Amino acid sequence: MIESQRIKTGIIGLDEILDGGFIPNTVNVILGSAGAGKTIFSIQYLLKGIEDGNKCIFVSFDMDEKDLVRTTKSLGWNEIEDYISEGKLSVNKFFAENVSYVNNDLLNLLMSESNTKTRIVIDSFTPMISSLNFESRNDVNWFFNKLREIGTAVITIEEPLNGDLGAASISLPLFLGDCVIHLKNIGYGEAFGRTLRVIKHRSSWHAEGVFPYKILNGIGIYVESVDYLKEVKEKIDVNAILEELGISREDVDPKVMERIERVATSASESARKAIIDVLRDSINIK
């Protein structure tokens, strides 16, 4: 998928990790414990959408407009209040005790306020399905498909305090979501106090590994160590590998060659080794 088709996240350093950003019409789950920056992540995503001319909707079970404005002003994002008054950002608070995940009011709200370019944030999804079990997978999948129809959604869910990711309210969104990003607030030292890892990115390449990030006033989440990806990608040169092995492109099955070219886009040293092994195996050389 070409980069121009991707949805820019607004998170400095993250688009490189996601090979250009989110894929349109997908459900993207942001997993993290308290203090990891899930809400900040969501706000940055919406701010980028407003800059790109998208309609943005923020749904929360904890925050109303005043809470959101107060949070953003503490980070130096004073423009949020203007975006709300101008209708560029819609903020909606629901009460968890009155909402099941199939709540028609919520779905009707999202559909009525959306257009062909809409960014939706639900902060968080957990209260909507906290009472569900694994047998409710089809229902959750139905709701996710509705979200995919009306916009690119970032859904934030809480990580249980006991670290148990097996609860249905956590594992179902992780399993059914298109992209899952895990934010961790480790709390041990400045360099790796917070880390980010992409658990999955369906139908797309993504960088593997753990990336440190900081939360900076005026910027928000800033992912570090992204230069490493560019360096590794530059080193994976298929033509150089072919020359090294004394192989021409004509010696390799076109389908195998196509797979190799795709592997070469992976920012990983193991990708180069895999390419060499596939080439050797395809034409039986030692």
Residue 97 lies inside a defined structural domain of this protein: yes
- Is 187 in the same domain as 255? no
- Is 216 in the same domain as 240? no
- Is 170 in the same domain as 277? no
Query: Comparing C-alpha atoms, which of 72, 70, 65 is closest to residue 89?
Result: 65
Residue 157 lies inside a defined structural domain of this protein: yes
Range of the domain at 249: 236-282
- Is 123 in the same domain as 244? no
Name the one residue in this structure whose structure tokens are 């129809």: 149
The reported pTM is: 0.80
Residue 230 lies inside a defined structural domain of this protein: no
Residue 113 lies inside a defined structural domain of this protein: yes
C-alpha angle with apex 16: 15 to 17, nearest 5 degrees? 90
Residue 231 lies inside a defined structural domain of this protein: no
Residue 90 lies inside a defined structural domain of this protein: yes
- Is 165 in the same domain as 249? no
Edge-to-edge, what's the strand order for the sheet holding 89-93? 89-93, 55-60, 118-123, 152-158, 27-32, 179-185, 194-201, 211-216, 220-223
Q: Give the model's pLDDT for residue 157.
A: 78
C-alpha angle with apex 278: 276 to 279, nearest 5 degrees? 65
Q: Give the model's pLDDT for residue 3.
A: 46
- Is 148 in the same domain as 258? no
- Is 267 in the same domain as 146? no
Q: Give the model's pLDDT for residue 1.
A: 42
Burial (CB < 10 A; 0-12, 13-18, 19+), residue 180, is buried
- Is 16 in the same domain as 47? yes
Which 3 state secondary structure label does DSSP give 223?
Answer: strand
* Residue 97, token pair as written in the block: 């005790």
Q: Give the model's pLDDT for residue 49.
A: 96
- Is 134 in the same domain as 275? no
- Is 136 in the same domain as 278? no
Mean pLDDT, consecutive 10-residue segments, the chain of 286 residues?
Answer: 74 92 94 89 96 93 92 92 94 70 70 86 77 68 87 79 63 86 78 86 88 92 75 71 89 89 72 86 72
- CATH classification of the domain holding 208: 3.40.50.300
38 within 8 A of 28, measured Cβ to Cβ: no
Q: Give the model's pLDDT for residue 130.
A: 63
Residue 84 lies inside a defined structural domain of this protein: yes
- Is 191 in the same domain as 264? no
Residue 16 lies inside a defined structural domain of this protein: yes
The DSSP bridge partners found for residue 246 are none
Q: Give the model's pLDDT for residue 182.
A: 93
Counted domains in the chain: 2
Q: Give the model's pLDDT for residue 2.
A: 43
Last residue of a domain, one of 225, 246, 272: 225
- Is 199 in the same domain as 265? no
196 within 8 A of 40, measured Cβ to Cβ: no
